[in-house]
Structure 1
Amino acid sequence: MDERGPLCVGIDPHASLLASWGLDDDVAGLERFSRTVVEALADTVAVFKPQAAFFERFGSRGVAVLERTAADARAAGALVVMDAKRGDIGSTMAAYAETFLHPDSPLFSDALTVSPYLGYGSLAPAVELARTSGAGLFVLALTSNPEGAEVQRAVREDGRTIGATMLGHLAAENAGESPMGSFGAVVGATLGDLSSFDLDINGPLLAPGIGAQGATAADLPRVFGAAVRNVVPNVSRGVLRHGPDSGALRGAAERFAEEIRTAVSG
Protein backbone atom coordinates (compact mmCIF):
# COMPACT_ATOMS: atom_id res chain seq x y z
CA MET A 1 0.00 0.00 0.00
CA ASP A 2 2.94 2.36 0.63
CA GLU A 3 4.21 1.66 -2.88
CA ARG A 4 0.94 1.41 -4.81
CA GLY A 5 -1.51 3.52 -2.84
CA PRO A 6 -3.92 2.74 0.00
CA LEU A 7 -6.70 1.03 -1.92
CA CYS A 8 -8.34 -2.38 -2.13
CA VAL A 9 -10.55 -2.84 -5.20
CA GLY A 10 -13.36 -5.36 -4.92
CA ILE A 11 -14.04 -7.68 -7.85
CA ASP A 12 -17.81 -8.15 -7.60
CA PRO A 13 -19.20 -9.41 -10.94
CA HIS A 14 -22.87 -9.40 -10.01
CA ALA A 15 -25.48 -9.54 -12.75
CA SER A 16 -26.36 -5.83 -12.81
CA LEU A 17 -22.73 -4.82 -13.12
CA LEU A 18 -22.13 -7.29 -15.96
CA ALA A 19 -25.17 -5.80 -17.70
CA SER A 20 -23.91 -2.25 -17.28
CA TRP A 21 -20.70 -3.33 -19.01
CA GLY A 22 -22.72 -4.78 -21.89
CA LEU A 23 -21.85 -8.34 -20.90
CA ASP A 24 -24.07 -11.40 -20.63
CA ASP A 25 -24.71 -12.93 -17.23
CA ASP A 26 -22.78 -16.10 -18.03
CA VAL A 27 -19.30 -17.56 -17.68
CA ALA A 28 -18.04 -15.74 -20.77
CA GLY A 29 -19.22 -12.41 -19.33
CA LEU A 30 -17.73 -13.29 -15.96
CA GLU A 31 -14.36 -14.08 -17.52
CA ARG A 32 -14.31 -10.95 -19.68
CA PHE A 33 -15.21 -8.78 -16.69
CA SER A 34 -12.61 -10.27 -14.36
CA ARG A 35 -9.84 -10.28 -16.95
CA THR A 36 -10.51 -6.63 -17.81
CA VAL A 37 -10.30 -5.54 -14.18
CA VAL A 38 -7.09 -7.46 -13.55
CA GLU A 39 -5.41 -6.32 -16.76
CA ALA A 40 -6.34 -2.69 -16.10
CA LEU A 41 -5.37 -2.51 -12.44
CA ALA A 42 -3.23 -5.40 -11.19
CA ASP A 43 0.08 -3.68 -11.89
CA THR A 44 -0.87 -0.55 -9.93
CA VAL A 45 -3.50 -1.40 -7.28
CA ALA A 46 -2.22 -2.75 -3.97
CA VAL A 47 -5.03 -5.18 -3.12
CA PHE A 48 -7.90 -6.96 -4.86
CA LYS A 49 -10.86 -8.50 -3.02
CA PRO A 50 -12.73 -10.98 -5.25
CA GLN A 51 -16.17 -11.86 -3.90
CA ALA A 52 -16.18 -15.65 -4.27
CA ALA A 53 -19.98 -15.98 -4.33
CA PHE A 54 -20.30 -14.13 -7.64
CA PHE A 55 -17.98 -16.70 -9.24
CA GLU A 56 -19.33 -19.78 -7.45
CA ARG A 57 -22.85 -19.13 -8.74
CA PHE A 58 -21.63 -20.34 -12.15
CA GLY A 59 -20.41 -23.67 -10.75
CA SER A 60 -17.07 -25.24 -11.56
CA ARG A 61 -16.47 -23.02 -14.60
CA GLY A 62 -16.99 -19.93 -12.46
CA VAL A 63 -14.57 -21.24 -9.84
CA ALA A 64 -12.04 -21.81 -12.63
CA VAL A 65 -12.37 -18.12 -13.55
CA LEU A 66 -11.84 -17.23 -9.89
CA GLU A 67 -8.66 -19.32 -9.82
CA ARG A 68 -7.25 -17.51 -12.85
CA THR A 69 -8.32 -14.12 -11.51
CA ALA A 70 -6.50 -14.63 -8.22
CA ALA A 71 -3.41 -16.11 -9.85
CA ASP A 72 -3.12 -13.39 -12.50
CA ALA A 73 -3.57 -10.61 -9.95
CA ARG A 74 -0.87 -12.04 -7.70
CA ALA A 75 1.46 -12.59 -10.67
CA ALA A 76 1.19 -8.86 -11.44
CA GLY A 77 2.23 -7.97 -7.91
CA ALA A 78 -1.14 -7.24 -6.28
CA LEU A 79 -2.26 -8.87 -3.06
CA VAL A 80 -5.47 -10.90 -3.10
CA VAL A 81 -7.94 -11.00 -0.21
CA MET A 82 -10.44 -13.75 -0.98
CA ASP A 83 -13.82 -12.61 0.29
CA ALA A 84 -15.38 -15.99 1.05
CA LYS A 85 -16.40 -15.42 4.71
CA ARG A 86 -15.83 -19.06 5.59
CA GLY A 87 -16.62 -20.28 9.08
CA ASP A 88 -17.10 -23.78 10.48
CA ILE A 89 -15.56 -26.19 13.00
CA GLY A 90 -12.90 -28.87 13.11
CA SER A 91 -12.02 -30.72 9.93
CA THR A 92 -14.46 -28.63 7.88
CA MET A 93 -12.74 -25.39 8.88
CA ALA A 94 -9.42 -27.06 8.12
CA ALA A 95 -10.67 -27.93 4.63
CA TYR A 96 -11.76 -24.35 4.01
CA ALA A 97 -8.33 -23.20 5.15
CA GLU A 98 -6.62 -25.66 2.78
CA THR A 99 -8.75 -24.34 -0.09
CA PHE A 100 -7.66 -20.73 0.24
CA LEU A 101 -4.53 -20.63 2.38
CA HIS A 102 -2.39 -23.59 1.27
CA PRO A 103 0.29 -22.48 -1.22
CA ASP A 104 -0.38 -25.51 -3.44
CA SER A 105 -4.09 -24.73 -3.81
CA PRO A 106 -5.25 -23.22 -7.12
CA LEU A 107 -7.29 -20.74 -5.04
CA PHE A 108 -4.38 -19.69 -2.80
CA SER A 109 -4.79 -16.09 -1.67
CA ASP A 110 -2.78 -13.71 0.45
CA ALA A 111 -5.64 -13.47 2.93
CA LEU A 112 -9.12 -14.85 3.52
CA THR A 113 -12.19 -13.32 5.16
CA VAL A 114 -13.61 -15.59 7.87
CA SER A 115 -16.57 -15.61 10.23
CA PRO A 116 -15.84 -16.23 13.93
CA TYR A 117 -19.43 -16.64 15.05
CA LEU A 118 -19.12 -20.33 15.87
CA GLY A 119 -16.62 -19.12 18.46
CA TYR A 120 -13.24 -17.56 17.76
CA GLY A 121 -11.52 -20.83 18.62
CA SER A 122 -13.23 -22.49 15.64
CA LEU A 123 -10.88 -20.48 13.40
CA ALA A 124 -7.78 -22.22 14.79
CA PRO A 125 -7.12 -24.35 11.67
CA ALA A 126 -7.17 -21.23 9.50
CA VAL A 127 -4.98 -19.28 11.93
CA GLU A 128 -2.42 -22.09 12.03
CA LEU A 129 -2.28 -22.57 8.26
CA ALA A 130 -2.10 -18.83 7.63
CA ARG A 131 0.92 -18.61 9.92
CA THR A 132 2.59 -21.55 8.16
CA SER A 133 1.95 -20.26 4.64
CA GLY A 134 2.68 -16.59 5.30
CA ALA A 135 -0.92 -15.61 4.57
CA GLY A 136 -3.42 -13.71 6.71
CA LEU A 137 -7.03 -13.56 7.83
CA PHE A 138 -9.62 -10.82 8.04
CA VAL A 139 -12.10 -11.71 10.78
CA LEU A 140 -15.62 -10.26 10.72
CA ALA A 141 -15.73 -7.99 13.75
CA LEU A 142 -17.85 -4.86 13.19
CA THR A 143 -19.60 -5.15 9.86
CA SER A 144 -21.63 -2.41 8.22
CA ASN A 145 -24.83 -4.38 7.56
CA PRO A 146 -27.62 -3.39 9.99
CA GLU A 147 -28.25 -7.01 11.01
CA GLY A 148 -24.66 -7.39 12.21
CA ALA A 149 -25.32 -5.40 15.37
CA GLU A 150 -27.65 -8.14 16.64
CA VAL A 151 -24.59 -10.31 17.27
CA GLN A 152 -21.59 -7.99 17.20
CA ARG A 153 -22.98 -5.40 19.64
CA ALA A 154 -24.40 -8.01 22.02
CA VAL A 155 -22.89 -7.73 25.50
CA ARG A 156 -21.22 -10.68 27.20
CA GLU A 157 -21.36 -11.44 30.91
CA ASP A 158 -18.00 -9.69 31.35
CA GLY A 159 -19.47 -6.46 29.96
CA ARG A 160 -17.64 -6.58 26.64
CA THR A 161 -19.44 -6.71 23.32
CA ILE A 162 -18.89 -9.66 21.00
CA GLY A 163 -17.25 -7.34 18.45
CA ALA A 164 -14.81 -6.01 21.05
CA THR A 165 -14.03 -9.58 22.08
CA MET A 166 -13.10 -10.48 18.50
CA LEU A 167 -10.83 -7.44 18.30
CA GLY A 168 -9.18 -8.57 21.53
CA HIS A 169 -8.51 -12.03 20.11
CA LEU A 170 -6.86 -10.48 17.06
CA ALA A 171 -4.70 -8.19 19.16
CA ALA A 172 -3.45 -11.29 20.98
CA GLU A 173 -2.66 -13.03 17.66
CA ASN A 174 -0.63 -10.02 16.51
CA ALA A 175 1.19 -9.33 19.78
CA GLY A 176 4.88 -8.60 19.25
CA GLU A 177 4.69 -8.59 15.44
CA SER A 178 6.42 -5.75 13.59
CA PRO A 179 5.44 -3.61 11.80
CA MET A 180 2.13 -5.40 12.33
CA GLY A 181 0.65 -8.88 12.39
CA SER A 182 -1.27 -10.60 9.60
CA PHE A 183 -4.54 -11.15 11.46
CA GLY A 184 -6.93 -8.34 10.68
CA ALA A 185 -10.53 -7.36 11.29
CA VAL A 186 -13.35 -6.40 8.96
CA VAL A 187 -14.68 -3.07 10.22
CA GLY A 188 -17.23 -1.15 8.14
CA ALA A 189 -16.32 2.36 7.06
CA THR A 190 -20.01 3.36 7.32
CA LEU A 191 -20.30 2.75 11.08
CA GLY A 192 -19.52 6.26 12.28
CA ASP A 193 -17.76 6.92 15.58
CA LEU A 194 -16.06 3.74 16.84
CA SER A 195 -14.13 5.39 19.66
CA SER A 196 -15.69 2.99 22.19
CA PHE A 197 -13.82 0.10 20.51
CA ASP A 198 -10.09 -0.52 20.73
CA LEU A 199 -9.14 -0.82 17.07
CA ASP A 200 -5.42 -0.96 17.85
CA ILE A 201 -5.03 -4.67 17.14
CA ASN A 202 -1.53 -4.31 15.64
CA GLY A 203 -3.02 -5.63 12.43
CA PRO A 204 -4.84 -4.43 9.31
CA LEU A 205 -8.46 -3.29 9.26
CA LEU A 206 -10.35 -4.14 6.07
CA ALA A 207 -12.87 -1.34 5.63
CA PRO A 208 -15.67 -1.91 3.09
CA GLY A 209 -18.26 0.76 2.43
CA ILE A 210 -16.47 3.54 0.57
CA GLY A 211 -18.21 4.73 -2.57
CA ALA A 212 -21.59 3.23 -3.42
CA GLN A 213 -22.37 2.31 0.21
CA GLY A 214 -22.06 5.94 1.28
CA ALA A 215 -18.75 6.32 3.12
CA THR A 216 -16.04 8.61 1.76
CA ALA A 217 -12.29 8.79 2.17
CA ALA A 218 -12.77 11.85 4.36
CA ASP A 219 -14.76 9.73 6.85
CA LEU A 220 -11.86 7.38 7.60
CA PRO A 221 -10.04 9.45 10.28
CA ARG A 222 -13.30 10.05 12.15
CA VAL A 223 -14.32 6.39 12.07
CA PHE A 224 -10.94 4.78 12.77
CA GLY A 225 -9.11 7.41 14.81
CA ALA A 226 -5.50 6.58 15.60
CA ALA A 227 -5.81 3.22 13.82
CA VAL A 228 -6.52 4.87 10.46
CA ARG A 229 -3.03 4.15 9.12
CA ASN A 230 -3.72 0.42 9.43
CA VAL A 231 -6.92 0.62 7.38
CA VAL A 232 -7.25 -1.20 4.04
CA PRO A 233 -10.09 0.78 2.43
CA ASN A 234 -12.19 -1.23 -0.02
CA VAL A 235 -13.99 0.27 -2.99
CA SER A 236 -15.96 -1.93 -5.38
CA ARG A 237 -18.75 -0.36 -7.44
CA GLY A 238 -17.16 3.10 -7.15
CA VAL A 239 -14.35 1.83 -9.38
CA LEU A 240 -16.03 -1.00 -11.31
CA ARG A 241 -18.87 1.14 -12.66
CA HIS A 242 -16.31 2.91 -14.85
CA GLY A 243 -15.65 -0.24 -16.90
CA PRO A 244 -15.23 -1.75 -19.34
CA ASP A 245 -12.90 1.05 -20.40
CA SER A 246 -9.48 0.19 -18.93
CA GLY A 247 -8.34 3.80 -18.79
CA ALA A 248 -11.48 4.84 -16.93
CA LEU A 249 -11.04 1.99 -14.45
CA ARG A 250 -7.44 2.99 -13.82
CA GLY A 251 -8.37 6.65 -13.48
CA ALA A 252 -11.10 5.89 -10.92
CA ALA A 253 -8.75 3.72 -8.86
CA GLU A 254 -6.08 6.42 -8.90
CA ARG A 255 -8.57 9.06 -7.76
CA PHE A 256 -9.81 6.95 -4.85
CA ALA A 257 -6.25 6.07 -3.81
CA GLU A 258 -5.24 9.73 -3.83
CA GLU A 259 -8.34 10.80 -1.88
CA ILE A 260 -7.62 8.13 0.73
CA ARG A 261 -3.93 9.00 0.92
CA THR A 262 -4.80 12.66 1.49
CA ALA A 263 -7.39 11.86 4.16
CA VAL A 264 -5.14 9.44 6.04
CA SER A 265 -2.01 11.59 5.94
CA GLY A 266 -3.89 14.77 6.77
Structure 2
Amino acid sequence: MSAAGERAPFGARLAAAMAAHGPLCVGIDPHASLLDAWGLPDDAEGLRRFALTVMEAVGGRVAAVKPQAAFFERHGSRGLAVLEEVVAAGRDAGTLVVVDAKRGDIGSTMGAYADAFLRDGSPLAGDALTVSPFLGFGSLAPAVDLALTAGRGLFVLCLTSNPEGRDVQHAVAPDPTTGAPRSVAAAVAAQAAALNAGAHPLGSVGLVVGATVGDAARSTGTDLVAVNGPLLAPGVGAQGAGPDELRAVFGEARGRVLASSSRGVLRAGPDVSSLRAAALRAAQEAAAALG
Protein backbone atom coordinates (compact mmCIF):
# COMPACT_ATOMS: atom_id res chain seq x y z
CA MET A 1 0.00 0.00 0.00
CA SER A 2 1.63 3.19 -1.12
CA ALA A 3 -0.84 5.95 -0.36
CA ALA A 4 -0.66 7.37 3.13
CA GLY A 5 -4.43 7.19 3.43
CA GLU A 6 -4.28 3.41 2.91
CA ARG A 7 -1.25 2.74 5.11
CA ALA A 8 -1.81 1.54 8.65
CA PRO A 9 0.25 3.33 11.31
CA PHE A 10 3.82 2.10 11.60
CA GLY A 11 3.33 0.87 15.18
CA ALA A 12 0.45 -1.38 14.15
CA ARG A 13 2.37 -2.73 11.16
CA LEU A 14 5.45 -3.41 13.26
CA ALA A 15 3.43 -5.22 15.94
CA ALA A 16 1.93 -7.46 13.25
CA ALA A 17 5.35 -8.13 11.70
CA MET A 18 6.86 -9.04 15.09
CA ALA A 19 3.95 -11.38 15.81
CA ALA A 20 4.42 -13.09 12.44
CA HIS A 21 8.22 -13.30 12.27
CA GLY A 22 9.59 -12.70 15.76
CA PRO A 23 11.18 -9.62 17.34
CA LEU A 24 14.21 -9.33 15.05
CA CYS A 25 15.50 -6.48 12.93
CA VAL A 26 18.44 -7.42 10.69
CA GLY A 27 20.94 -4.60 10.38
CA ILE A 28 22.45 -4.12 6.93
CA ASP A 29 25.85 -2.67 7.80
CA PRO A 30 28.23 -3.08 4.84
CA HIS A 31 31.50 -2.44 6.65
CA ALA A 32 34.55 -2.59 4.42
CA SER A 33 35.72 -5.59 6.46
CA LEU A 34 32.48 -7.46 5.78
CA LEU A 35 32.66 -6.73 2.08
CA ASP A 36 36.18 -8.15 2.13
CA ALA A 37 35.06 -11.23 4.11
CA TRP A 38 32.41 -11.85 1.45
CA GLY A 39 35.02 -11.54 -1.31
CA LEU A 40 33.47 -8.31 -2.60
CA PRO A 41 35.20 -5.10 -3.68
CA ASP A 42 34.82 -2.04 -1.46
CA ASP A 43 32.93 -0.05 -4.07
CA ALA A 44 29.34 0.65 -5.07
CA GLU A 45 28.97 -2.62 -6.98
CA GLY A 46 30.27 -4.65 -4.02
CA LEU A 47 27.89 -2.73 -1.78
CA ARG A 48 24.97 -3.50 -4.11
CA ARG A 49 25.73 -7.21 -4.26
CA PHE A 50 26.09 -7.34 -0.47
CA ALA A 51 22.90 -5.44 0.35
CA LEU A 52 20.67 -7.15 -2.19
CA THR A 53 21.97 -10.59 -1.17
CA VAL A 54 20.93 -9.82 2.41
CA MET A 55 17.50 -8.74 1.18
CA GLU A 56 17.15 -11.90 -0.89
CA ALA A 57 17.96 -13.97 2.20
CA VAL A 58 15.75 -12.25 4.77
CA GLY A 59 13.07 -10.37 2.84
CA GLY A 60 9.64 -11.60 3.87
CA ARG A 61 11.14 -13.67 6.70
CA VAL A 62 11.99 -11.15 9.43
CA ALA A 63 10.06 -8.31 11.02
CA ALA A 64 12.36 -5.57 9.73
CA VAL A 65 15.68 -4.67 8.21
CA LYS A 66 17.79 -1.67 9.16
CA PRO A 67 20.21 -0.37 6.53
CA GLN A 68 22.83 1.90 8.13
CA ALA A 69 22.86 4.92 5.84
CA ALA A 70 26.48 5.87 6.54
CA PHE A 71 27.83 2.72 4.89
CA PHE A 72 25.88 3.59 1.74
CA GLU A 73 26.73 7.30 1.82
CA ARG A 74 30.46 6.57 1.91
CA HIS A 75 30.13 5.40 -1.72
CA GLY A 76 28.59 8.69 -2.86
CA SER A 77 25.62 8.97 -5.19
CA ARG A 78 25.97 5.37 -6.38
CA GLY A 79 25.84 4.21 -2.77
CA LEU A 80 22.68 6.20 -2.13
CA ALA A 81 21.19 4.60 -5.23
CA VAL A 82 21.84 1.20 -3.61
CA LEU A 83 20.07 2.39 -0.46
CA GLU A 84 17.09 3.28 -2.63
CA GLU A 85 17.18 -0.26 -4.04
CA VAL A 86 17.16 -1.71 -0.51
CA VAL A 87 14.13 0.38 0.42
CA ALA A 88 12.33 -0.77 -2.72
CA ALA A 89 13.30 -4.41 -2.10
CA GLY A 90 11.86 -4.23 1.40
CA ARG A 91 8.62 -2.80 0.07
CA ASP A 92 8.40 -5.53 -2.59
CA ALA A 93 9.07 -8.26 0.00
CA GLY A 94 6.64 -6.85 2.56
CA THR A 95 9.46 -6.33 5.06
CA LEU A 96 9.60 -3.15 7.11
CA VAL A 97 12.64 -0.95 6.47
CA VAL A 98 14.09 1.19 9.25
CA VAL A 99 16.55 3.64 7.69
CA ASP A 100 19.26 4.14 10.30
CA ALA A 101 20.38 7.68 9.49
CA LYS A 102 20.15 9.26 12.99
CA ARG A 103 19.17 12.63 11.57
CA GLY A 104 18.73 15.58 13.90
CA ASP A 105 18.76 19.28 13.10
CA ILE A 106 16.61 22.39 13.37
CA GLY A 107 14.01 24.19 11.32
CA SER A 108 14.05 23.90 7.55
CA THR A 109 17.05 21.55 7.64
CA MET A 110 15.15 19.02 9.75
CA GLY A 111 12.22 19.52 7.41
CA ALA A 112 14.44 18.62 4.47
CA TYR A 113 15.69 15.49 6.22
CA ALA A 114 12.08 14.53 6.93
CA ASP A 115 11.19 15.12 3.30
CA ALA A 116 14.04 12.87 2.16
CA PHE A 117 13.38 9.95 4.48
CA LEU A 118 9.67 10.10 5.31
CA ARG A 119 7.75 11.66 2.42
CA ASP A 120 5.62 9.50 0.16
CA GLY A 121 7.31 9.31 -3.20
CA SER A 122 10.86 9.78 -1.91
CA PRO A 123 13.01 6.80 -2.95
CA LEU A 124 14.79 6.96 0.43
CA ALA A 125 11.59 6.75 2.47
CA GLY A 126 11.38 3.41 4.24
CA ASP A 127 8.90 2.63 6.99
CA ALA A 128 10.77 4.35 9.84
CA LEU A 129 13.77 6.55 10.49
CA THR A 130 16.18 6.82 13.41
CA VAL A 131 16.53 10.38 14.71
CA SER A 132 18.54 12.24 17.35
CA PRO A 133 16.69 14.48 19.84
CA PHE A 134 19.75 16.10 21.36
CA LEU A 135 19.13 19.51 19.78
CA GLY A 136 15.87 19.45 21.73
CA PHE A 137 12.94 17.11 21.17
CA GLY A 138 10.99 19.97 19.65
CA SER A 139 13.53 20.17 16.83
CA LEU A 140 12.15 16.83 15.60
CA ALA A 141 8.69 18.31 14.95
CA PRO A 142 8.98 18.23 11.13
CA ALA A 143 9.91 14.53 11.24
CA VAL A 144 7.23 13.71 13.83
CA ASP A 145 4.53 15.49 11.86
CA LEU A 146 5.44 13.94 8.51
CA ALA A 147 5.99 10.44 9.91
CA LEU A 148 2.62 10.32 11.66
CA THR A 149 0.81 11.85 8.68
CA ALA A 150 2.38 9.34 6.29
CA GLY A 151 1.88 6.25 8.49
CA ARG A 152 5.61 5.95 9.10
CA GLY A 153 7.56 5.73 12.34
CA LEU A 154 10.53 7.15 14.21
CA PHE A 155 13.06 5.59 16.56
CA VAL A 156 14.42 8.33 18.80
CA LEU A 157 17.83 7.89 20.42
CA CYS A 158 17.32 7.62 24.18
CA LEU A 159 19.72 5.33 26.09
CA THR A 160 22.58 4.16 23.90
CA SER A 161 25.36 1.77 24.85
CA ASN A 162 28.33 3.98 23.93
CA PRO A 163 30.02 5.30 27.09
CA GLU A 164 30.01 8.88 25.84
CA GLY A 165 26.21 8.84 25.61
CA ARG A 166 25.88 9.02 29.38
CA ASP A 167 27.22 12.58 29.42
CA VAL A 168 24.11 13.83 27.66
CA GLN A 169 21.49 11.14 28.20
CA HIS A 170 21.94 10.84 31.98
CA ALA A 171 22.28 14.58 32.55
CA VAL A 172 19.63 16.12 34.80
CA ALA A 173 17.88 19.45 34.20
CA PRO A 174 14.70 21.11 35.49
CA ASP A 175 11.53 19.97 33.75
CA PRO A 176 10.26 22.99 31.76
CA THR A 177 6.69 22.41 32.97
CA THR A 178 7.09 21.39 36.61
CA GLY A 179 10.59 22.57 37.44
CA ALA A 180 11.35 19.18 38.96
CA PRO A 181 14.73 17.63 38.05
CA ARG A 182 14.57 15.05 35.28
CA SER A 183 17.16 13.27 33.16
CA VAL A 184 17.40 13.95 29.45
CA ALA A 185 16.57 10.30 28.71
CA ALA A 186 13.46 10.46 30.90
CA ALA A 187 12.36 13.64 29.12
CA VAL A 188 12.83 12.01 25.70
CA ALA A 189 10.79 8.98 26.79
CA ALA A 190 8.03 11.20 28.18
CA GLN A 191 7.79 13.10 24.89
CA ALA A 192 7.49 9.83 22.97
CA ALA A 193 4.84 8.60 25.41
CA ALA A 194 2.77 11.74 24.83
CA LEU A 195 2.87 11.18 21.06
CA ASN A 196 1.86 7.52 21.48
CA ALA A 197 -1.00 8.15 23.91
CA GLY A 198 -4.00 5.96 23.09
CA ALA A 199 -2.25 4.05 20.29
CA HIS A 200 -2.92 0.29 20.06
CA PRO A 201 -1.18 -2.12 19.93
CA LEU A 202 1.92 0.11 19.61
CA GLY A 203 2.54 3.77 18.98
CA SER A 204 4.68 4.79 16.03
CA VAL A 205 7.30 6.82 17.92
CA GLY A 206 9.78 4.38 19.44
CA LEU A 207 13.08 4.69 21.24
CA VAL A 208 16.57 3.33 20.70
CA VAL A 209 17.70 1.66 23.92
CA GLY A 210 20.84 -0.46 23.97
CA ALA A 211 20.32 -3.96 25.30
CA THR A 212 23.54 -3.71 27.30
CA VAL A 213 22.85 -0.47 29.24
CA GLY A 214 22.10 -2.32 32.50
CA ASP A 215 19.99 -0.37 34.96
CA ALA A 216 20.21 2.91 33.03
CA ALA A 217 16.44 3.20 32.56
CA ARG A 218 15.83 2.80 36.29
CA SER A 219 18.69 5.04 37.39
CA THR A 220 17.62 7.85 35.04
CA GLY A 221 13.91 7.52 35.82
CA THR A 222 13.10 6.57 32.23
CA ASP A 223 9.69 4.86 32.06
CA LEU A 224 9.94 2.50 29.10
CA VAL A 225 6.54 0.92 29.76
CA ALA A 226 4.76 4.27 29.57
CA VAL A 227 6.30 4.97 26.15
CA ASN A 228 3.73 2.62 24.56
CA GLY A 229 5.96 2.32 21.53
CA PRO A 230 8.60 -0.02 20.08
CA LEU A 231 12.08 -0.18 21.60
CA LEU A 232 14.85 -0.79 19.07
CA ALA A 233 17.56 -2.65 20.96
CA PRO A 234 21.01 -3.37 19.60
CA GLY A 235 22.90 -6.07 21.49
CA VAL A 236 20.34 -8.87 22.07
CA GLY A 237 21.14 -12.59 22.13
CA ALA A 238 24.41 -13.56 20.48
CA GLN A 239 25.57 -9.94 20.72
CA GLY A 240 25.75 -10.03 24.50
CA ALA A 241 22.40 -9.60 26.26
CA GLY A 242 20.46 -12.61 27.51
CA PRO A 243 17.28 -12.94 29.58
CA ASP A 244 18.78 -11.63 32.84
CA GLU A 245 20.30 -8.56 31.19
CA LEU A 246 17.10 -7.81 29.28
CA ARG A 247 15.00 -7.99 32.42
CA ALA A 248 17.35 -5.45 34.00
CA VAL A 249 17.21 -3.10 31.01
CA PHE A 250 13.60 -3.34 29.86
CA GLY A 251 11.61 -4.85 32.72
CA GLU A 252 7.92 -5.09 31.85
CA ALA A 253 8.55 -3.40 28.49
CA ARG A 254 10.33 -6.49 27.08
CA GLY A 255 7.36 -7.38 24.88
CA ARG A 256 7.87 -4.16 22.90
CA VAL A 257 11.53 -4.77 22.10
CA LEU A 258 12.68 -5.11 18.50
CA ALA A 259 16.11 -6.72 18.75
CA SER A 260 18.67 -5.54 16.22
CA SER A 261 21.32 -7.95 14.96
CA SER A 262 23.86 -7.04 12.32
CA ARG A 263 27.17 -8.89 12.28
CA GLY A 264 25.66 -11.88 14.06
CA VAL A 265 23.67 -12.51 10.87
CA LEU A 266 25.87 -10.90 8.21
CA ARG A 267 28.98 -12.93 9.02
CA ALA A 268 27.08 -16.02 7.76
CA GLY A 269 27.20 -14.65 4.20
CA PRO A 270 27.57 -14.55 1.31
CA ASP A 271 25.61 -17.79 0.92
CA VAL A 272 21.90 -16.94 0.85
CA SER A 273 20.74 -20.07 2.64
CA SER A 274 23.33 -19.59 5.38
CA LEU A 275 22.27 -15.98 5.86
CA ARG A 276 18.62 -17.01 6.03
CA ALA A 277 19.36 -19.70 8.59
CA ALA A 278 21.37 -17.25 10.70
CA ALA A 279 18.53 -14.72 10.64
CA LEU A 280 15.93 -17.29 11.63
CA ARG A 281 18.18 -18.53 14.42
CA ALA A 282 18.70 -14.95 15.65
CA ALA A 283 14.94 -14.36 15.64
CA GLN A 284 14.41 -17.46 17.76
CA GLU A 285 17.18 -16.43 20.17
CA ALA A 286 15.72 -12.95 20.52
CA ALA A 287 12.24 -14.31 21.18
CA ALA A 288 13.62 -16.66 23.84
CA ALA A 289 15.69 -13.91 25.48
CA LEU A 290 12.75 -11.52 25.56
CA GLY A 291 10.21 -14.08 26.76
Alignment of 1:35-114 (within 5 A): 35-114=52-131
Q: CA deviation at 1:217?
A: 5.9
After superposition, the Cα gap between the structure-2 partners of 1:219 and 1:252, relative to the gap in structure 1 and judged at 3 Å, is farther
Q: Structure 1 residue 260: deviation in Å?
A: 1.6
- SS of 2:65's partner is strand
Task: Name whichever of 157-166 and 85-94 sits farther off.
Answer: 157-166
Aligned to 1:199: 224
Separation in structure 2 between the aligned mates of residue 169 and residue 49 of structure 1, nearest angstrom: 24
Length-normalised TM-score, structure 1: 0.96
5 Å matches for 1:122-141? Answer: 122-141=139-158
Equivalences for residues 217-236 of structure 1 within 5 A: 219-236=245-262
Identify which of 180, 184, 206 aligns with 2:202. Answer: 180
**Unaligned 5+ residue runs, structure 2?**
1-17, 175-179
Residues 87 and 126 in structure 2, CA contact (< 8 A), matched pair in contact too: yes
Report the Cα distance in structure 2 between the residues aligned to 1:62 and 1:165, rounded to whole angstroms: 36
2:275 is matched with which residue? 249
User: Pairwise CA RMSD of aligned residues?
Assistant: 1.3
- One-letter amino acid matched to 1:165: A
Match of 1:240 in 2: 266
The count of aligned residue pairs is: 265
Q: Would the alpha carbon gap of residues 213 and 44 (structure 1) be closer, same or farther in structure 2, given more than 3 Å must change?
A: closer
- Normalising by structure 2, we get a TM-score of 0.88
Decide which moves more: 94-103 or 195-204: 195-204
- Which of residues 8, 11, 15 is equivalent to 2:32? 15
3-state DSSP of counterpart to 1:61: helix
Is this contact kept in 1: 2:23–2:63, CA < 8 A? Answer: yes
Which stretch has the larger CA shift, 223-232 or 191-200?
A: 191-200
1:145 aligns with 2:170: no
Q: 1:154 aligns with which of 171, 179, 185?
A: 171
Which amino acid letter does the alignment assign opposite residue 251 of structure 2? Answer: G
Paired with 2:70 and 2:249, the residues of 1 have a C-alpha distance of 28
One-letter code of the match for 1:195? R
In 2, the alpha carbon distance for the partners of 1:212 and 1:99 equals 34
Cα distance between partner residues in 2 of 1:242 and 1:263: 21
Distance in 2 between the 1:83 and 1:222 partners?
26
Give, in angstroms, the shift of residue 211 of structure 1.
5.7
Taking a change above 3 Å as real, the CA distance of residues 186 and 29 of structure 1, as seen in their structure-2 partners, is: same
